[in-house]
A and B are shown apart, each in its own frame.
Chain A
Amino acid sequence: MQKKESIPRAALAAAAPVILGYLTMGIACGVLLVQQVPAANGWWCLLFSTFALSGSMQFAAAEVLKNAVNYSLLMTAVMALLINIRYCIYGLPFLRLFRCYPWYQRFFLIQNLSDETYAIMVSSRRHGRDRRNFMMLVAAFDYASWIAGTVIGAIIGSHLPFPTDGIEFAMVALFVVILVDLCREKSNRLPALIGGGATLIVIGLAMAFCPTFANKSLLLAMALMTAVLVAMRPKNAKESDQ
């Protein structure tokens, strides 16, 4: 007879690579946040990560909060919307399944649908109570390691023993890293080109002709990018709209 699998052990094994990744990236994010945002510290990162579980958003927040005077609330909202819009489809495979769970478990699972946790959850082949426990544990491990990472980073970041001029490049580096990984997939290359191109054109023109408008031109770049993407969507997608 087959031995019954231990769900906590299986969840830890599935989450292990994500835990390592989240801890280290969280540390990088925490260091950047305390270096860039004067008010940030360990407690602050703890709260921020608890309520906004989104790595790329929190890296972008370093820039947005540092130069807060240049960003309106509307711009912040649109930026958050576009960076994270993929999350609004991550729930689709779980529409039925999550409804069987109590509301607090449902809420926790929904708010933990990050790229990595989503990938583990969606590929789990378990059923019933095992599946629920597995998903709750994976989500909890991932969530805790990201929060722990940012807090550790915030504590380390305020005691760095060398001059930190230029550390703001970590934000650029993170986005480059994500882009390199995305572009391994062919279907992402054209959208990436459109997004980068639209931003380059709009900000380039703004910096050349109207420098005071340059950092406010992001909204325009986002609008242009979205318009081009919508105009270029494949035909069959248009037909199945009805």
Chain B
Amino acid sequence: MTLHQFLMIAIMCAVIILLRAFPFIVFHDATKKPPALLLYLGRVMTAAAIAMLVVYSLMSVCDFANPQYGRLLLMTPAVFATVLLQYFLRNSLLSIVGGTAVYMILLQTVG
């Protein structure tokens, strides 16, 4: 592992720990109300960030450095499978394993 990777992990850990501790550090006075903008972002940012990660991780599987757009074609049925499994069965692990299996089989046979 390079120093850079080590620092990245350290930063990720530090950000998470500080975020969780944030209200206890800043709002010492429990009568003071936290700013509305913060509450609003805390509510909406999760969905936005996860949607961002969906798009971004799809692109990164296509490989930024050497784009292989054909993989998007293989990923479409896999994403569909994941969505349908999760929407109807609500079993996260099954949806992840199922969707990933669809992609792996397509990639290793067709791709």
Q: Which of A's residues lie within 8 Å of B, judged by CB?
A: 21, 24-25, 28, 37, 39, 48, 51-54, 56-57, 60-61, 63-65, 67-71, 73, 76-77, 80-92, 95-96, 98, 106, 110-111, 113, 163-183, 187-189, 191-196, 198-200, 203, 207, 211, 214-215, 218, 221-222, 225-226, 229-230, 233-234, 237-238, 240-241
Interface residues, chain B, with chain A CB atoms under 8 Å away: 1-2, 4-5, 7-9, 11-13, 15-17, 19-24, 27, 30, 34-61, 64-65, 67, 75, 78-79, 82-83, 86-87, 90, 92-93, 95-97, 99-100, 103-104, 106-108, 111
* B30 → chain A closest CB, angstroms: 5
Nearest CB on A from B75, distance (A): 7
What is the distance, in angstroms, from A121's C-beta to the closest C-beta of chain B? 13
- List, sorted by A's number, 29 A–B pairs whose CB atoms are closer than 8 Å: A48-B9, A60-B57, A61-B8, A61-B9, A63-B57, A65-B5, A68-B2, A73-B11, A80-B11, A88-B22, A89-B23, A89-B34, A91-B23, A98-B24, A165-B108, A166-B103, A171-B61, A173-B96, A173-B99, A177-B96, A180-B86, A181-B90, A187-B43, A189-B47, A191-B51, A196-B51, A207-B67, A225-B49, A230-B37
Interface contact B108-A28, CB-CB below 8 Å: no
| A39 vs chain B, min Cβ distance (A) | 4
B80 to chain A, nearest CB (A): 10
Known: A71-B8, A73-B7, A169-B99. A89 touches B48 (CB 8 A): no
Counted as pairs of residues, one from A and one from B, with CB atoms less than 8 Å apart, the total is 273
Contact across chains for A92 and B23 when beta carbons are under 8 A apart:
yes
Shortest Cβ distance from residue A86 to the other chain B in the assembled complex, whole angstroms: 5
